[in-house]
Amino acid sequence: MTAGDPKVTLELAQSHGLTAEEYDRIIRRLSREPTFTELGLFSALWSEHCAYKHSRVFLRALPTRAAHVLQGPGENAGIVDLGGDLALTFKIESHNHPSFIEPFQGAATGVGGILRDIFTMGARPIAVLDSLRFGDPADPRTRRLIEGVVAGIGWYGNCFGVPNLGGEVGFAPEYAGNPLVNAMAVGLVSKRGIFRARAEGVGNPVFYVGAKTGRDGIHGATMASSTFDETAEERRPTVQVGDPFTEKLLLEACLEAMATGAIVGIQDMGAAGLACACSEMPARAGMGMEIEASRVPQRETGMTPYEIMLSESQERMLLVAARGREDDVRRTFAKWDLDAVEIGTVTDDGLLRVRFHGAVVAEVPVKALADEAPVYEKTTARPEWQDALADFDPLSLATGSDASAALLDLLASPGIASKEWVYRQYDQQVGINSLVLPGSDAGVLRIKGTRTGIAVTTDCNARFVYLDPRVGAAMAVAEAARNLSVSGARPLGLTDCLNFGSPERPEILWQFKEAVAGISEACRALEIPVVGGNVSFYNETLGQAVLPTPVVGMAGMLDDVEARCTQWFAEEGDRIALLGPDTVSLGGSEWLWARHRRVAGRLAPLDLAVERAVQEACRAAIGARLLGSAHDCAEGGLAVTLAEACVTGPRRLGAEVALGPARGPADLILFGEGPSRVLVSVKVARAQHFEQLMKEFRVTWRFIGRVGGDRLRIRTDEGSLVDLELDRISGAWRGGFERHVS
């Protein structure tokens, strides 16, 4: 103990987020009462945020292996093989709670943290994406959150110098008190230059590198493992403060030091800071670590070992160097004007030993901290209201009157309207490799010096997951893969950010269990491995949980980036085809919410074999240069998909669409949503080849119209459904979101 440390009691442990049972478990493991610093270590490492106490039992079902997976879950980021010497590393994480408390810095440091996860692996970041959820944008408080979050994301990424290539923004009342801010990053690494967070080699020196440690972010991990109440604003000191310029220096210094061969292992000091890095690194290697906390560079005076170990100050790394290469490490980081201080050594006793001015203030088995947190298998319960939601028939509200007006309403709704107001604040082209910018189904960038391209996306329809967690989560996987496929890319791997309410509520844990099962089923059917991710529980305020939102981030590869495809019509006269089944539903649809403010009904069925065949057929058609465009038919149904294809590109092109015999009410035909559907435009000269290809893949498809003119017309054999000038369509879509936030 140090002078001034409080006496450790059960009450103090509980104030740190530990239960009585967990505190008793700690005492038994140590055979004594913990010191104050040790209590801090356990509270952070055993938090839900770090230990996955409630989720681990379900996550085991996810498929994580494939021949091309070089690193799966368990490291800072996943890695997949791109062929040759190149590999792709990517990861998505949440920064929900900090962004609610302090929107600008919360979102900014979320970007900073995910970037460090990427270059900790030895990779250079090449892109970031984000997935955001807010309450009603008409609410001034929500507008403040949107403005702060978007500004924070833009500031950090722009200053660091990495392009933002896409993402999504969603809205629902359930996010009003708990927005979701998920950030994804992607990087390139040589397979010979992959680094891992392992403390190996007895006697090897342990270095602290990067920015100095302050008091910001203390208890950030435990804060992220609790729900909010009316006192949330008081937690502002738990939010970290970012410095993207320092992070850029840290990136260059780390990559340069790695190239020298002086680095054995390295880990970002993110959640739980030094406490986490000093525990997890030796635990992975079956080693121990001893550090002198007083040597840690500090930007504030009088910091205690407890504060030093738990601080989540940004732009810091812990690395293990090869003994004898200490001067190489110091020299490299000095070149970039960064601290590089030797604070400890790797040991063989399996203990984390923390000294402060020579006195031992913590001595804990690293396995106890990193691997022995309790794993709970708690009761799950399907909510009683689930059946009532499923039994509601949205067609009881369908009138079919003035479908053109309904289409304009949907296009102007904040969930569908153009998000240009958001992404124009982000640098999209730094690095000059960006080929498809935000605004299409997926972002695409080239790998410099090759013909290879990378496509990236984030996706989740939370309404679907709310109505049917298993099917809705599987649909999120399918849609992410579809967005890559319509861009011409073959999906390589998945990273997920699973945002839910409190796992201590049986109905929330049931949603989580079902969603994980759905993700697993879809990944196995589509042969897409899960290479990493994040679980974010306790997303609720005053008992109001967010909609279950398992965000799927996915990366894919184009063998020839020149074969990429975008969602907008490209040429007058191209034939329009619809791939996939006609089975759709208004359950959980954008139409039902935008027009009637309801979330209810049954989802359209998902056949994963059909999904796979449609995606394979689409990729084959793109690779054969048969298509002018390809667009996932998702939120808003066929009518919205057609409208987007008309007006989202560099020039507006109308369409004449004839759907044949009416297959239900007009609202269902136009706005019904369902999986496995893709709208494509086929080059006239290649139509016969396209027909043959579709036959080979045995997918359901049909020609439905032609590109051309200055209007969108949609009709059935029974008459006209939609007839709108492109100016009106574009005006509704382009101005809809901005009208809500400006």
pLDDT digits (tens, 9 = 90+) for 592-643: 999 999 999 999 999 999 999 999 999 999 999 999 999 999 999 999 999 9
Residue 699's pLDDT is what? 97
CA distances to 467, 509, 595, 665 from 600, rounded to whole Å, are 7, 21, 13, 18
Taking the alpha carbons of 291, 292, 293, 297 in that order, is the dihedral positive or negative?
Answer: negative
Q: Give the per-residue pLDDT at 4.
A: 80
Assign 42 to helix, strand or coil: helix
C-alpha distances in Å from residue 342, one per residue of 209, 248, 313, 326:
9, 22, 18, 8
Backbone angles phi, psi at 374, to 5 degrees: -65, 145
In this structure, are residues 404 and 722 in contact, taking their beta carbons and an 8 Å threshold?
Answer: yes
- Mapped onto helix, strand or coil, the DSSP state of residue 178 is coil
Angstrom distance (rounded) from CA 375 to CA 679: 45
Are 455 and 484 in contact, with CB atoms under 8 Å apart?
Answer: yes
pLDDT at 222: 53
Helix axes 608-623, 687-697, angle to 10 degrees: 150
Report which of 610, 567, 533, 611 is spatially closest to residue 455, judged by C-alpha positions: 567
pLDDT digits (tens, 9 = 90+) for 710-730: 999 999 999 999 999 999 999
The count of other CB atoms within 10 Å of the CB of residue 242 is 28
The Cα 517–Cα 540 span in angstroms is 23
Total residue count of the chain as it appears in this document = 742
Q: Characterise 734 by phi-psi region: left (phi > 0), alpha (psi -120 to 50), beta (else).
A: alpha
Q: Please name the amino acid found at residue 375.
A: V
Q: Are 250 and 209 in contact (CB under 8 A)?
A: yes
For residues 690 and 623, the answer to whether their CB atoms sit within 8 Å is no
Contacts of 391 (CB under 8 A, 6+ apart): none
Contact status, residue 605 vs residue 670, Cβ threshold 8 Å: no
Distance CA 329, CA 73 (A): 29
- Distance between CA 205 and CA 198 in Å, rounded? 13
DSSP codes, 582-596 = ---B-TT-HHHHHHH
- Residue 197 amino acid letter: A
DSSP 473-536: HHHHHHHHHHHHHTTTPEEEEEEEEEE-S-TTSHHHHHHHHHHHHHHHHHHHHHT--EEEEEEE
* Residue found under tokens 């989720």: 55
Instruction: Give the global pTM.
Output: 0.96
Listing from the earlier edge strand, what are the strands of the sheet with 627-632? Answer: 627-632, 678-682, 575-579, 701-707, 655-658, 711-716, 719-725
Strand 316-321 relative to strand 263-268, pairing: antiparallel
Residue 221: the pLDDT is 52
- Which residue type is seen at 526? L
The pairing of strands 711-716 and 655-658 is parallel
Which amino acid type is present at position 506?
P
| Residues 6 or more apart whose Cβ sits within 8 Å of residue 195 | 120, 121, 122, 258, 263, 265, 266
Ramachandran region, residue 333 (left: φ > 0; alpha: ψ -120 to 50; beta: rest) = alpha
User: What residue ranges in 27-106 does DSSP mark as E strands?
Assistant: 69-71, 78-83, 86-94
Q: How far apart are CA 516 and CA 619, in angstroms?
A: 27
Q: Which two tokens stand for residue 23?
A: 């505190």
pLDDT at 230: 55
Name the residue with tokens 């017309």: 713
SS3 content of the chain, % helix, strand, coil (to 5): 40, 25, 35
434 close to 566: Cβ distance less than 8 angstroms: no
- Closest Cα to residue 274, out of 325, 214, 201, 330? 214
- Is residue 367 within 8 A of residue 355, CB to CB? The reply is no
Judge contact between 186 and 494, C-beta under 8 A. no
Residue 647 near residue 733, CB atoms below 8 Å: yes
Task: Tell me which residue of 447, 466, 463 sits closest to 455, measured CA to CA.
Answer: 447
Instruction: Please tell me the number of Cα atoms within 13 Å of 417 on its side-chain side.
Output: 21
- Give the β-pairing of 434-436 and 530-536: unpaired
Predicted local confidence at residue 236, as pLDDT = 44
Query: What pairs with residue 80 in β-bridges?
Result: 69, 88
Euclidean distance between CA atoms 195 and 266, whole angstroms:
7
Sign of the Cα torsion 718, 597, 150, 254 reads negative
Cα-based angle 533, 26, 206 (whole degrees, multiple of 5): 60
Between the alpha carbon of residue 610 and those of residues 108, 604, 613, 671, the distances in Å are 40, 13, 5, 21
Do residues 213 and 325 lie in contact, with contact meaning Cβ atoms separated by under 8 Å?
no
- Largest CA-CA distance found in the chain, in angstroms, rounded: 86
Q: Which residues are catalytic?
A: 49, 95
pLDDT along the chain (742 residues), means of 10: 86 96 98 97 96 96 98 97 97 95 95 97 98 95 96 97 96 96 98 98 98 84 54 56 96 98 96 95 98 97 96 96 98 98 98 98 98 96 96 90 94 96 94 94 96 98 98 98 98 98 97 98 98 97 95 98 97 98 97 96 98 98 98 98 97 97 94 98 97 97 98 97 98 90 76
Which residue in 577, 606, 591, 603 sits closest to 676, CA to CA? 606
